[in-house]
Structure 1
């Protein structure tokens, strides 16, 4: 199983942190993090529920990670293994993650797919999301998978939708002409664009598009 001890920084102040697999005892904290991170009008039925979390630790515990600061869980990342064909990339979040229940986890697949990443708002300046993403890359390397993949929201796109296609918007972000809160974060985590998926999520800010972005395992052969 996974356990990483490290220091994160609040300005110039180092803070000890632990990234580890989450367990059944952590479920109430994980649901609390979702509630605080996605307050109303975000629909409460989209927060993690205990059945989903139970499936995560049952079907793919190696892809269920959380981060602790001073003994408190303040963020998590969840994945499943799928068989991804770059020649046929179109899918929705709901389809590929089984609505977050991951009953379609395929241990013989080639790709670790990010289901969700979440960090408490009060801790988002510590770089925890990046460390969680790097830790999932560790899992990809450890299991000998081909890539880490996930669909990123493009929450800045609705402001530009009348002037450019989603592909043009993504290209502008990768060139540095525009910044997007999610896509720019994923670029900093080493992810690169693969495809723009239509109707990826019910997400008006992204005009329902998702940017599929991957990190390729440099040791894969």
Structure 2
């Protein structure tokens, strides 16, 4: 038996006779339904990249035809004649936002070889390469005539989706990640098998970037620098800032997009308040917070890197909070207050918890901050995931390996369940002359979801435990999009929101 060769390529005018033969065979239930030669030639001339053929041993046995449209001009209520400009294709707009599929078929003699899937894959690749929002098409439901007396089109579509009924067209569309936007009446009035009904189908391009051609754009690969900070005695604020700038400089030399400092990295400055009670000492440290924030903002601009400032105490309306700053490299900044102070923070210092869960926009995607103990509460990660978070930064401070493991294990869980990256940065060493800050244990790390595109361990990079150093790692945000859409499991997509939900209460 001779081997068959299969090729997917652009359709040419010379392919017309094979194309007509295959189309007549494909639409035996719609007599006379085939494309005229002049129409095919016009489509090829108008949009050659959109006309795709599949051949077996050199013979065209199927095709996928498409145009680009400005979809808002048509909306969801349109007919086939309207979307094609009554077969003139004057609706084709090279600057449009949607690839509109006007035809897909495979000669019945060649079915069972997954040729239609190859056509769909080629069409999806075209959509991605052209940076279009997605693919829209009207789809027949040719088996509906067998069930029209028993159920409405809506019930029929639901049963096809749930695999209770097989439809040669719609079942295939569902298996190729298309969704049904609505049911169209009289889309193809001569389609007796579908009783004049059609499904309006849509496939979303997860790689679409609305502002891809602008100077300021969100990067797909993001470089993160973590500072594993050694606690030591400093000669006041000046000495501390010199060490901060040293690390910002070192990380920026690697052209990093983010540098992350740990929780309470500035604790050595509390030494000057040692004669005070713990609650008064931490409030004394809070007097330096505004100065630190200003310096971090200056460093972010000077070294062209976004900075997660670690954390520091702040007093607001006489209440003490643990705060972290996002200092962007464009000079803007925002803040996040630790929501869950640990029992020791409450007991020793009288720390209060913040009341806002939020995600920050940056030039490198959407990021969140959770401070140490916060990462042990999965609700926060889920709320951030609902807001589109891509990277969660966790400044932490732990004194024992048990405490560290709680942060580490929970951070890995957040990365898996929320399909995002989690970067944790901690302090090492000891401060024997600072009350309540004796010992620190840390192993800073960049953690990933768990699927084929990511490291088997779920660890992109990590530090040597209890050693002052930096960790620099690249994370690919495109991999997150692919995970959301095509992962082996899809935690966010498969949430049973009909059964449960996580929401915030307004305070």
> Which of the five TM-score ranges fits, normalised by the shorter chain?
0.7 to 0.9
Instruction: Report how many aligned residue pairs link the two structures.
Output: 207
The answer to whether the 8 Å contact 1:83/1:111 transfers is yes
- Matches of 1:154 and 1:86, distance apart in 2: 26
CA shift digits 1:119-139 (9 cap, x unpaired): 111101101011101110111
- Matches of 2:157 and 2:174, distance apart in 1: 11
Alignment match, 1:216 = 204
Alignment match, 1:177 = 164
Q: Secondary structure at the match of 1:126?
A: coil
Q: Secondary structure at the match of 1:29?
A: helix
Alignment match, 2:191 = 203
The answer to whether the aligner puts 1:21 opposite 2:15 as a matched pair is no
Q: Within 5 Å, give how 1:85-104 maps onto structure 2.
A: 85=72, 88-104=75-91
Q: Secondary structure at the match of 2:104?
A: strand
Alignment match, 2:315 = none
The answer to whether the aligner puts 1:162 opposite 2:179 as a matched pair is no
The answer to whether the aligner puts 1:187 opposite 2:147 as a matched pair is no
Q: Secondary structure at the match of 1:131?
A: helix
- Matches of 2:93 and 2:150, distance apart in 1: 40
The answer to whether the 8 Å contact 1:100/1:115 transfers is no
The answer to whether the 8 Å contact 2:99/2:136 transfers is yes
The answer to whether the aligner puts 1:37 opposite 2:37 as a matched pair is no
Alignment match, 1:76 = 63
More contact order relative to length (CA 8 Å, sep ≥ 6): 1
Q: Which has the larger radius of gyration?
A: 2
TM-score between the two structures when normalised by the length of structure 1: 0.86
The answer to whether the 8 Å contact 1:35/1:47 transfers is yes
The answer to whether the 8 Å contact 1:37/1:118 transfers is yes
For the aligned residue pairs, the C-alpha RMSD in angstroms reads 2.1
- Please list every run of 5 or more consecutive structure 2 residues that lacks an aligned counterpart in the other structure: 210-507
| CA deviation after TM superposition for structure 1 residue 23, in Å | 1.2
The answer to whether the 8 Å contact 1:59/1:103 transfers is no
